[in-house]
A = this chain, B = another copy of it.
């Protein structure tokens, strides 16, 4: 339930930020699929810290080591287990960490849930570091999907009020997704980069952090994936995306924008394209109707809350001494986690789509 997700292609994630290692087990992959580790490492690097001033300077090699499920560069069909060792941990402030509950973090809830036995160092199992195995798993799924014509990519839609262009929901080219998903600070309109970076820098200088929104798309998905009620594409992707720390909202297509639309504006009229394929003229529904794909681009957005670890002094409690306390979070922290969260969102979408494609028995025989 907690560390395991998926109906056919299942992903189990384990590890604690400052433990021996983190990793994942992917079960249910089709056999005989080539796995290109270099390409996966491009994704790993997009998520890794230290790339630029928006992120922490903790150095992590984060090269996943495959333990099983791959032979001669191809999947065997057996569970694919991968390991990432933890090398650069610094766990000096253990006592303070276990006493002073960091606002916005899982310190307090983890303490209650696990009766004080949870590993608090670096956030333990709640750490954003646990998204590294997810990016690995998504990287594997992505390659399998691409071979079946499905492309996934995303961009930073917003950082603290500065906004990139939206995807054109009826026309998302695979090339755009491939470009976006190979960059670190992915934008459709690169002219907004400077303004976004300034917002991050400004917050950083004040010992503060900023949040934002990422937008991802997937194209090449056949119509008819997903099921009604609780088996829909939204139902299957949402718990994956909410599995990424800091995500507090998920929307598909026009999302919360539907609240100000009328039906005549919101409905996506059906039509045939030149080749006789069924298309919709607009795509407010983000490629999903009744939980099932229409064949139009899948559009999803997730909001990423500002990094809770900030240098500014904060009011909190001392859980051991049962008293109020002042907290100043030390150490290396990202003033903005949005660029690093983006490849994770793309990764879990890949995971979810590959799982869904196994549901309806398409493209796998």
Contacts and interface: CB of A to CB of B under 8 A. Distances in A.
Contact of A211 (B74, B81, B236, B259): B259
A192 interface: no
Given A255-B303, A322-B272, A79 B2 contact: yes
Contacts of A106: 228, 289-292
A231 B2 contact: yes
A164 to B, nearest CB: 12
Contact of A117 (B31, B105, B268, B304): B31
Chain A contact residues (Cβ within 8 angstroms of B): what range? 35 or more
B263 A209 contact: yes
A1 B96 CA distance: 42
B125 A78 contact: yes
- Residue among A22, A76, A364 with most chain B CB within 10 A: A76
A1 B227 contact: yes
Interface in A297-320: 303-310, 312, 314-317, 319
A195 interface: no
A109 B68 contact: no
A54 interface: no
Contacts of A160: 259-260, 262
A361 B359 contact: no
Given A77-B114, A112-B224, A245-B290, 13 more contacts: A1-B231, A14-B69, A31-B117, A67-B83, A76-B119, A78-B228, A104-B266, A210-B261, A211-B263, A238-B250, A249-B256, A263-B308, A272-B317
21 contacts: A3-B228, A3-B230, A4-B230, A16-B78, A21-B81, A76-B117, A77-B115, A103-B270, A112-B224, A113-B226, A209-B262, A211-B261, A213-B259, A235-B239, A238-B238, A249-B255, A249-B258, A257-B303, A261-B305, A266-B305, A361-B365
A77 B111 CA distance: 10
A229 interface: yes
A147 interface: no
Given A21-B68, A76-B119, A292-B110, A1 B16 contact: no
Given A76-B117, A160-B260, A105 B211 contact: no
Given A14-B79, A306-B263, A235 B242 contact: yes
A174 interface: no
A217 to B, nearest CB: 16
B126 A290 contact: yes
Q: How many copies does the complex hold?
A: 4
Contacts of A27: 1-4, 12, 14
Interface in A336-365: 358-362, 364-365
A102 to B, nearest CB: 8
A281 B315 contact: yes
B16 A211 contact: no
A252 B251 CA distance: 12
A43 interface: no
Given A76-B16, A235-B242, A113 B360 contact: yes
